[in-house]
């Protein structure tokens, strides 16, 4: 039996931006505060963009950002992200994606996004790989700093597209980090871990994934 809907993470699952996001954050700190910052020193893969900005700002500046400071930081990050993504020599659509998404679309599976990226950044990252048109709904870091909550938002928005309540037992969440797995489980959905980036199959299984794949070249599990 086919899944009714599948929600995909972006970075490390569908695409690798080649470090474009990290370079955009570094640029934003250099533009606003006179020096670049390595976000990897303060954050983990799978965190939301506002959380990344907030944590990095606090470590770099020594205090929590005010709403205005965080807004300026995110706006500056977004202002250069399209250029860094389009110029990134390391950008690539990950193996299996370009075969899988059209097949799922042809099979009538509703496709959505669940990502820590704010919505504008998500579409920029998908756009270079010509992947935006596969996804009709989603949950984003601009919806919530909590990965479970934004995954729930994506799931419920799918109802608006489908015209009926989606079945959580027939809805998969596909992601490459333990945070993606935990978000899927917290939302009551089927967690598919893909060892396509930094985390191993063993780490994703230990995080509680219902199924683990080496890449999206492997077939998705049957329900």
The CATH number of the structural domain formed by 20-87 is: 1.10.150
Report the b/e string of 121-138 with b at 16+ CB within 10 A. Answer: bbbbbbebbebeebbebb
pLDDT, position 129: 96
pLDDT, position 199: 85
Residue that has been written with the tokens 């250069």 in this structure: 80
- Going from N- to C-terminal start, the domains of the chain cover 5-17+91-213, 20-87
pLDDT, position 198: 82
Output the pTM of the full model.
0.92
Q: Angle formed by the axes of helices 119-128 and 20-33, to 10°?
A: 130
User: Of 109, 160, 121, nearest to 137 (Cα)?
Assistant: 160
Enter the tokens of residue 48.
């939301």
Please state which architecture CATH assigns to domain 5-17+91-213.
3-Layer(aba) Sandwich (3.40)
pLDDT, position 223: 78
pLDDT, position 168: 95
Low-confidence ranges of the chain (pLDDT < 50): none
77-119 confidence digits (pLDDT tens) = 999 999 999 999 999 999 999 999 999 999 999 999 999 999 9
pLDDT, position 197: 82
E strand or H helix at 113, and its extent?
A: strand 110-114
């Amino acid at each position: 039996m086919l899944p009714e809907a599948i929600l995909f993470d972006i970075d490390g699952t569908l695409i690798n931006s080649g470090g474009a996001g990290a370079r955009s954050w570094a640029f934003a700190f250099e533009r606003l505060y006179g020096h670049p910052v390595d976000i990897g020193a303060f954050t983990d893969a799978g965190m939301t963009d506002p959380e990344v900005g907030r944590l990095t700002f606090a470590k770099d500046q020594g205090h929590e950002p005010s709403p205005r400071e965080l807004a300026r930081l995110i706006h500056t990050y977004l202002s250069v992200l399209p250029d860094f993504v389009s110029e990134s020599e390391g950008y690539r659509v990950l193996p299996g994606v370009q075969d899988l998404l059209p097949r799922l679309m042809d099979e009538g599976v509703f496709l959505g996004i669940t990502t820590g990226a704010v919505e504008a950044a998500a579409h920029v990252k998908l756009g270079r790989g010509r992947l935006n048109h596969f996804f009709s709904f989603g949950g984003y870091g601009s919806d919530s700093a909590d990965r479970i909550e934004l995954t729930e938002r994506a799931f419920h928005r799918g109802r608006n597209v489908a015209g009926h309540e989606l079945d959580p037992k027939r809805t998969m969440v596909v992601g490459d980090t333990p945070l993606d797995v935990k978000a899927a489980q917290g939302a009551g959905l089927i967690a598919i871990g893909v060892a396509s980036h930094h985390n191993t199959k063993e780490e994703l299984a230990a995080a509680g994934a219902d199924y683990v794949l080496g890449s999206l070249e492997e077939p998705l599990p049957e329900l």
